[in-house]
Structure 1
Amino acid sequence: MEMELQTTFTPWSSLAGGGLIGLSAVMVMGLFGRIAGISGITQGFLGAVLPTPGSPRDRDWRLTFLLGLMAAPFAILLASGTVAHSVPSNLPGMATAGLLVGLGTALGSGCTSGHGVCGLARLSRRSLAAVTTFMAAGFATVFVLRHILGGA
């Protein structure tokens, strides 16, 4: 994968994004009594579209939430005229990374949004263990890629 180092410090954009993530987590919990974990929302949506035994029947709010995630960059584009992004051009590497993330969310019973935002807010010990694990793995990955393999 091509590595691109992006170090621009954006405190106001980051604060606004974090506030919106928190607001959406509170809204999902308040309106639907559910945790706003993206992997769980996606899995529940797919289970509702392709019904399997035990799959949830609450497809509509899940679809709306996922469409909102996909529409956000377009809303920013309309508001500001530009969207900053970087995407590696290595499609096999990206596919492998996506499969590994999917495997990790299945093994960890959730993703960063479910455990990191919602689970820690509920003082879940399982979420604390999950967040500690994926943060340590992230730190180790950055260290290996940048300092041992000589990346950006």
Structure 2
Amino acid sequence: MESFTPLSAAIGGALIGLAAAVLWLGNGRIAGIAGIFGNLLPASHNALWRLVFLVCLILGAFATARFLPGLGAGGVDPVRLVEAPAAWGVPTPIWLAIAGLLTGLGTRIGNGCTSGHGVCGLARLSVRSLVAVGVFFGVAIITVTITGIV
């Protein structure tokens, strides 16, 4: 957290909100990334907008990193965001794969992810989303406490 700057956080938050609003107003859909990705296959009549949204999400992140390198975490130097705890003896790629699978399982069980519940659901004053976000934060606090990764 040494590289946190309120300005870049505010810009990022505003852009996330703008993307969610544009998708809602333009397509009538909620910008929940897990739902968008999870319903991409099997291909259906609404797969095109999902694919376009995900490709633009990736290209936007790439373009920002390429053309505004000092904006993100770590400034212009690449950042290692996570490493598996050494005491656990699990290689980092395996640790990340397990974390990804558990995240995917959690989004399926919770019927949504942090973007769907945290950004769009809370903005719609959804009680279900408020509970989901509380669970997300609670599990994150427990995970950081157990693993020591900050």
What's the TM-score bracket when you normalise by the shorter of the two chains?
Answer: 0.7 to 0.9
- 1:65 aligned residue: 53
- Please, what TM-score do these two structures have when normalized by structure 2? 0.82
Q: 1:84: Cα distance to partner?
A: 4.2
The amino acid of 1:25's aligned partner reads: A
Structure 2 Cα separation of the partners of residues 114 and 133 of structure 1: 14
Summarize deviations over 1:33-64 as a string: whole Å, max 9, x none.
Answer: 1110000010121232xxxxxxx521121111
Could you tell me the TM-score, scaled by structure 1's length?
0.81
**Alignment partner of 1:34 is 2:22:** no
Q: Does residue 108 in structure 1 map to residue 110 in structure 2? A: yes
The answer for the alignment partner of 1:21 in structure 2 is 16
Deviation at 1:83, TM superposition (A): 6.9
Q: 1:121 to 1:83 in 2, by over 3 A?
A: farther
- Match runs of 1:60-99 below 5 Å: 60-81=48-69, 82=76, 84-88=78-82, 90-99=92-101
Identity of aligned residues (%): 46
CA contact (8 A) 1:39 1:110 kept: yes
Partner residue, 2:128: 126
Alignment CA distance shift 1:69-1:59 (3 Å): same
The runs of at least 4 aligned residues of structure 1 exceeding 3 Å deviation read 81-85
Of residues 78-87 and 108-117 in structure 1, the stretch that sits farther from structure 2 once superposed is 78-87
Unaligned runs of 5+ residues in structure 2 are 70-75, 84-91
SS at match of 2:42: helix
- Give unmatched runs, 5+ long, in structure 1: 1-5, 49-55
Q: How many residues align?
A: 136
CA RMSD of aligned residues (A): 1.8
